[in-house]
Structure 1
Amino acid sequence: MFEACERDGFCLMGERLLLRDFVASDELSVHAFASDREVTRYTGWGPNSAEDTRVFLRGVLAQARSAERSEFNLAVVERDSGRLVGSAALRVTSREHARGELGYVFHREVWSRGYATEAGRLLLLFGFERLGLRRIAATCRPENVACARVLEKIGMRCEGRLRSHVFLRGTWRDSVLYAAINETAGS
């Protein structure tokens, strides 16, 4: 389960992680992973320049102040150390159809610690229990086996391959679509 907290803005608390709104002072921590070519290898952005990271932070800070918030781009922080180690996001893509999408990215130093799994579970619970979403989807590149494994661990099912889904670094790439359904929502 998760615990919602409203200290200095929005946050979700897990066993080892705190997912909270970004703050301007997160810039160096975000840039540490967002500028890493290996971390951004499968993303539709990056590796970030310093200006790219500043633009990202300005955007997520504005989203957090939105009266009708539909995007939750959150800093992932280790509860014990207080260190920002990644970013996790849940976006409501349709309020009418109760749909959302999730994603995450982590600093290479914390790969294989189960952080993506914990953050993904927190986002699914939040989306289903608090936002009332019925369907939450995610995509990953077919060759990103670690991401696919996380999506399956958090209860998402593979729904198929989207051919030529994204234009990434000069070439069209396929994506694999995953989704989780909240059978009790939207009846």
Structure 2
Amino acid sequence: MKNAYFGETLSFSYMTGEDIFPVSRMLEKESVCKWLFFGPNSSDMTRKYFEPLIDAMENDIKAKNQLKTHIFTIRERISGHFVGQCALLPVDFSEGSYTAAYQLDDICWRRGYGFEACRFLVYYAFFVCGGYRINADCAKENTASCRILEKCGFLKECNQEKYWNYKDSFHDRVLYSLLFENIPLNFQESLKNEFEESLF
């Protein structure tokens, strides 16, 4: 089993306990959490959330079981600098369907990293997990995230008005989906060529 995957500029490795500190620092920031449904979080809240998930992943890896939750730490491929995290969360009672999520530290914005992270999740969900559907959502005002999802082939399914109430201001949630059968063959090949080139 691979422990890490490599894109053009980023690496994606299964999250470990050592990654909790940089993730905590990221999720303490108001700017990072602006369009999330949670946060900013204290470091203790972040640790309590991620430790059981990390333990479950590590136990599955040791036992060579199929992972139930897939959480990755994102770093710059060459420098190793922390960039953010991304995850695929299984949809209850629907094997092969996942919800994709990613957060990037604000110092790493506007470098194309969000697009590369989203491409990785598409690759991982379909070609590693053998999934058939990926779900995603973002705040309507988060136009950068909407563009990333659409560039990766996600289709807008609906707009949920006033879904989030953040600091007495309402925000709509946009729901997206991507079905494996809708991915063009040339896009499938580009994903496999990008992320299957090397082992950790």
TM-score range, shorter-chain basis? 0.7 to 0.9
Task: Find the residue that maps to 2:41 and give its secondary structure.
Answer: coil
More helix by share: 2
Over the matched positions of the two proteins, sequence identity in percent amounts to 28
Partner residue of 1:104 out of 102, 112, 117: 102
Task: Verify the 8 A CA contact 1:162 1:176 in the aligned structure 2.
Answer: yes
Q: Which has the higher strand share?
A: 1
Query: CA separation of 1:169/1:120 partners in 2, compared to 1, >3 Å: closer, same or farther?
Result: same
Structure 1 residue 179 and structure 2 residue 177: aligned? yes
Specify the alignment match of 2:194 in structure 1.
Answer: none
Alignment match, 1:31: 24
| Structure with larger RCO (C-alpha < 8 A, sep 6+) | 2
TM-score (norm 2): 0.80
Moved more, 168-177 or 104-113: 168-177
Name 1:12's counterpart in structure 2. 5
Instruction: Determine the structure 2 residue equivalent to 1:122.
Output: 120
Aligned residues: 178
> In the TM superposition, what are the counterparts of 1:1-187 in structure 2 within 5 Å?
6=2, 10-65=3-58, 66=60, 67-94=65-92, 96=94, 98-166=96-164, 173-183=171-181
Q: CA deviation at 1:162?
A: 2.1
User: Is the 2:57–2:68 contact (alpha carbons within 8 Å) kept by the matching residues of 1?
Assistant: no
Unpaired stretches in structure 2, ≥5 consecutive residues: 184-200
How many angstroms apart in 2 are the aligned matches of 1:111 and 1:36? 14
Report the alpha carbon displacement of residue 50 of structure 1 after superposing the two structures with TM: 1.5
- Give the deviation of 1:97 after TM superposition: 5.1
Deviation, structure 1 residue 57: 3.0
State the shift of 1:22 in Å: 1.5
Shift, 1:164, TM fit: 4.4
Provide the aligned C-alpha RMSD in A.
2.2
Shift of the alpha carbon at 1:56? 2.9
TM-score normalised over the length of structure 1: 0.85
For residues 103-141 of structure 1, give each alpha carbon's deviation from its aligned partner in whole angstroms, at most 9, with x where no partner exists: 100000010101111011011011111212111010001
Aligned partner letter, 1:90: L
Task: Give, in angstroms, the shift of residue 40 of structure 1.
Answer: 0.4
- Contact 2:115/2:148, CA 8 A, preserved across alignment: yes
**1:172 Cα deviation after fit:** 6.2
Q: Does the CA contact (< 8 Å) of 1:29 and 1:85 recur in 2? A: no
